[in-house]
Amino acid sequence: MATFTLYGPALSTYVRTVRMVLAETNTPYDLKAVDIFSDRSAEYLAKNPFGKVPTLEVDGETLYETCAIVAYLDEVVGNGVFTPADPMIRAHMRQIMAIVDSYLYAPAIGTIAIQRLIVPSQGGQSDEAAVRAAVPKVKMALEAIEAIAIGTPYLLGTTITLADFHLMPVMLYLSKTPELAAVTSQTPKLKTWWETVSQRPSFLSVTA
């Protein structure tokens, strides 16, 4: 089997998405810490010019961008079990992942989680106006996912897919904030989904 090295801090949502696929497939890997709260080293920027995490090294070859990493891992260590065979359901999986990346991550993590969890932990005061402005954006993104989701019990039916792994780490941070109730007030499927997937052993192992 190939040798896998994953770069990134354990607290990163996107790193957790990749780690879930590795955990679900019992794939051994090294996790190398990257401090995302200070400047990236030249060595790291040579692997990932955008300085983002995660980056995966496969036998010394570098891969970055979470969607590309998890699609690769699903093929080589997952046998494709996390990607639906049906073209429309597969498209819905990619659609949910794109919604997370394009419309959910920035207001949910970049604003609400940072303002509610990180800023106070460092002795600062949350920017209430920024949080207020982020709430409708998060609500809209979650409601768009709700409209696509099947939710019995996973986002796209009876089998867990890469879309679940993409959304779960973001939901975990939202669930630690007082904004959770407001942003999920119109998403009953997502509420039930979260009660189930948040107890999944692979998720608990990468978020411990």
Ligand X SMILES: N[C@@H](CCC(=O)N[C@@H](CS)C(=O)NCC(=O)O)C(=O)O
For residue 53, the minimal CB distance to ligand X (Å) is: 4
Q: Which of 36, 114, 119, 144 binds ligand X (CB under 6 A)?
A: 36
3-state SS track over the chain: CCCEEEECCCCCHHHHHHHHHHHHCCCCCEEECCCCCCCCCHHHHHHCCCCCCCEEEECCEEEECHHHHHHHHHHHCCCCCCCCCCHHHHHHHHHHHHHHHHHHHHHHHHHHHHHHHHHHHCCCCCCHHHHHHHHHHHHHHHHHHHHHCCCCCECCECCCCHHHHHHHHHHHHHHCCCCHHHHCCCCHHHHHHHHHHCCCHHHHHHHC
14 binds ligand X, rule: CB under 6 A: yes
Of the ranges 45-53, 114-122, 126-134, 170-178, which one interacts with ligand X (CB under 6 A)?
45-53
Residue 114 or 150 with smaller CB distance to ligand X = 114
Q: Which of 4, 7, 12, 107 binds ligand X (CB under 6 A)?
A: 12
For residue 51, the minimal CB distance to ligand X (Å) is: 6
Binding positions for ligand X, rule: CB under 6 A: 12-14, 36, 51-53, 65-66
